[in-house]
Amino acid sequence: MSASAGTGVFVLSLSSIPSCYLFNSLIYSNNSSDAFVFAGCAAVLILAISARFMFKKKAPADPLFYVYAVYAFLSVVNLIIGLEQDNIIYGFVTFYLKEADPHINTAHGHMISYWDGWVHYLMYLLMIAAITWGDSYRTIGLYWVGSFLMRAIVYILGNAVGKYGSQVGPLFLLHMLYISVSVWACFRIFSQPSTQDAQVTNIQEAPRRSLLRRPLDLLFIIYLIPAFGFCVLRGLVALDCSSKCCQDYTQLYEPYLKDPSAYPKVQMLVNMLYSGPYYIITLYGLLVPGCEWMPDLTLVHSGALAQVRTAGYS
């Protein structure tokens, strides 16, 4: 397949800029969130049909090509949202920010907009380029899987228990559709064959050496033990632990955990239930080397933690 397919996706993604301005101008006068949802669905549908006709002669065999094409379009929209929230631009998503989605105006939603608009957008373009050139994109895909899963879990649970739970509308159903398609994409990525044959060979040879002869592994073990303890501490703080240690920690270091939107608190709980088991499994993998699943699990976890750091929960 020629590189024109990837170039076409890039051009389509940039078409979100005039589309946002046009839809905002037309819909803002109607002051209707239902009209906004309808316009959003129409835009995505037109985008998918346009992509299909553009690549009709040399249609990519991988269906994820079209998924990432749509997601690249949405990533540029999220970047526009972040820029308008910071008053760098105006008049592109004004209605969306004021009426459609209250979650996006939280600190969590604001940082996620930038994360999706920059990092996810780059990953989508790289995976589209890999599909275009017939290369494997499993490594980048696993990193995206971790980032997406962390974002989706926090978004759903935060909406369920936070102050915006009573304001769930049609837009939430669109988010659930996005999550459903993304989960399917995750399974597609996991099903791809691994390209790390040389690395697997090194992993299989590792049991022949003692831990003292593996200083890097020993260093990771020394790090993982306090990291697990800190992860549990933040989870207990999120659960409103009454001990003086937890109360002082909240007041002095992470007061945003009291945010009524509940996204920071949910994030800490997910960290405890997500990163905590990972640290234990990784300790096992380092103490008893030869686990071929370690590289994949590390990529997924790295993507999740990178998303957490960008959301401000360092």
| Crossing angle of the two packed helices 4-14 and 121-133, in degrees rounded to 10 | 160
- Burial of residue 231 (CB within 10 Å: 0-12, 13-18, 19+) is buried
pLDDT at 33 over 60: no
Q: How many residues does the chain have?
A: 314
Q: How many CB atoms lie within 10 A of CB 168?
A: 14
| Cα-based distances in Å from 49 to 1, 56, 61, 75, 129 | 20, 10, 16, 18, 20
DSSP 8-state secondary structure symbol assigned to residue 86: T
Q: What is the pLDDT of residue 200?
A: 52
Write down the pTM of the prediction: 0.86
Mapped onto helix, strand or coil, the DSSP state of residue 103 is: helix
d(CA 28, CA 37): 12
Instruction: Give the tens place of pLDDT for each residue, 108-157.
Output: 888 899 999 999 999 999 999 999 888 899 999 999 999 999 999 988 88
What's the rounded mean pLDDT across residues 206-220?
77
**246 and 284 in contact (C-beta within 8 Å)?**
no
Q: What is the pLDDT of residue 313?
A: 61
Higher pLDDT, 103 or 52: 103
Cα radius of gyration (the chain):
22
Higher pLDDT, 242 or 34: 242
**259 and 311 in contact (C-beta within 8 Å)?**
no
- Residue 28 pLDDT class (50, 70, 90 cuts): low
What percentage of the chain carries pLDDT values higher than 90?
Answer: 30
What count of Cα atoms within 13 Å lies in the side-chain half-sphere of residue 167?
13
Q: What is the pLDDT of residue 212?
A: 76
- Burial of residue 137 (CB within 10 Å: 0-12, 13-18, 19+) is buried
What's the rounded mean pLDDT across residues 34-63?
67
Q: Measured over all CA atoms, what is the biggest interatomic distance in the chain, rounded to whole angstroms?
A: 71
- Residue 172 pLDDT class (50, 70, 90 cuts): confident
**189 and 145 in contact (C-beta within 8 Å)?**
yes
CA-based angle 176:84:262, to the nearest 5? Answer: 45
Sole residue written with tokens 């003692």: 210
Higher pLDDT, 49 or 207: 49
d(CA 186, CA 90): 35
Higher pLDDT, 17 or 195: 17
199: nearest Cα among 268, 292, 108: 292
What's the rounded mean pLDDT across residues 265-277?
90
d(CA 189, CA 200): 19
Higher pLDDT, 291 or 178: 178
pLDDT at 38 over 70: no
Q: What is the pLDDT of residue 262?
A: 82
Higher pLDDT, 272 or 43: 272
- Residue 29 pLDDT class (50, 70, 90 cuts): low
**130 and 287 in contact (C-beta within 8 Å)?**
no
Least confident of 3-17, 45-59, 273-287: 45-59
Domain boundaries of the chain, sorted by first residue: 4-190, 204-310
Amino acid at 133: W
d(CA 178, CA 196): 30
Q: What is the pLDDT of residue 198?
A: 47
Instruction: Enumerate residues 6+ apart whose C-beta is below 8 A from 294.
Output: 203, 282, 285
d(CA 247, CA 51): 53
Scored b (16 or more CB within 10 A) or e, 88-116 reads eeeebbbbbbeebbbbbebebbbbbbbbb
Higher pLDDT, 124 or 17: 124
What percentage of the chain carries pLDDT values higher than 70?
Answer: 80
Instruction: Give the tens place of pLDDT for each residue, 288-309.
Output: 877 888 889 999 999 999 988 7
Amino acid at 11: V
pLDDT at 286 over 50: yes
Least confident of 54-63, 139-148, 246-255: 54-63
**138 and 303 in contact (C-beta within 8 Å)?**
no
Q: What is the pLDDT of residue 184?
A: 96
